[in-house]
Amino acid sequence: MKIYINGKFYSKEDAKISVYDHGLLYGDGVFEGITFYNGKIFRLAQHIRRLYESAQTIMLKIPLSFGKMIEDVKKTVELSGLKNGYIRLIVTRGEGNLGLNPFTCQQPQVIIIADKIALYPKELYATGLNVITVPTLRTPSEAMSPRVKSLNYLNNIMAKMEAINAGADEALMLNANGFVAECAGDNIFTVKDNAVYTPGPSAGILKGVTRDAVIELAEKNGLMVYEIDMSRHDIYNADECFLTGSAAEIVPVIKLDGRTIGSGKPGPVTKTLLEQFKKLIETEPEVVCK
């Protein structure tokens, strides 16, 4: 495995950046998590587009063109020696002085890692997750747009810790208005009366690439998809519930806050969407927009 840093490749042991990098000091930077299957990267262009949008919002100038970034990600995957895996693409503000001023940072750092990841044990895809609502709220959009996939992930980490400490598999996070936002690392969906529901961007969510793919699949199956202000009541009384994310793909949820959801087993819509998603990642051509 080789780690890409600013156009050069290093072994894992030799891949280093400065301790004065503002990405380390202040979480000042953006990233993407991307999956690849049989060497083919799933929706790479969409991920790169979101990376550049995140960078634009925080006034971070990425030192590579869109097309060059695509090429370098592909090269990193090739050198990984993996057929299936996960890409962590990071752009930091770069090395600067101690202090918040980002304009002391002269050169953003681009880091690309291709490795393995497993968010949930394999058996949970068959049995479903036990989720709890945690006290940590999703960062309000007025503070920092959750659509910016920033390196400062402490909000999500605290939520995940609270779930683990309570013996749950995942954390459900609410927004400041008390509505459902998302889970610590994934978007959330419910199924009720053969329609699909999910919080919209205004709820304070990351607009996930896998989320978009699942909405497309649901609509192709003739299912109505509604983006709504969702309460926990909606989840407690849903027929089915599932999470989506690049690393997680589609994983069923069978319990929230001690309430069994639906039959207490992964439902038919969830199973169908998971099967079709697996076909999609195998058959979808790799489209690149330069």
Which residue numbers are catalytic?
Answer: 149
Outline where DSSP puts E strands in the chain: 2-5, 8-11, 29-37, 40-41, 85-92, 109-115, 129-133, 170-174, 180-183, 187-192, 195-199, 225-228, 240-245, 249-256, 259-260
222 alpha carbon, distance to own chain's centre: 26
Rounded distance, CA 67 to CA 85, Å?
Answer: 22
User: 3-class DSSP state for residue 146?
Assistant: coil
Dihedral sign computed on CA atoms, order 69, 208, 226, 215: positive
Torsion of CA 249, 255, 261, 267, to 10 degrees: 30
Please work out, in degrees rounded to the nearest 5, the angle formed at the alpha carbon of residue 199 by the alpha carbons of 197 and 204. Answer: 175
The β-bridge partners of 81 are: none
- The DSSP element (H or E) to which 283 belongs, if any, is helix 268-283
User: 3-class DSSP state for residue 8?
Assistant: strand
Radius of gyration over alpha carbons of the chain, in Å? Answer: 19
What are the backbone dihedrals phi and psi of residue 247, each rounded to the nearest 5 degrees, phi first?
-80, -35
The amino acid at 30: V
Task: Identify whether the C-beta of residue 51 lies closer than 8 Å to the C-beta of residue 43.
Answer: no
The β-bridge partners of 59 are: none
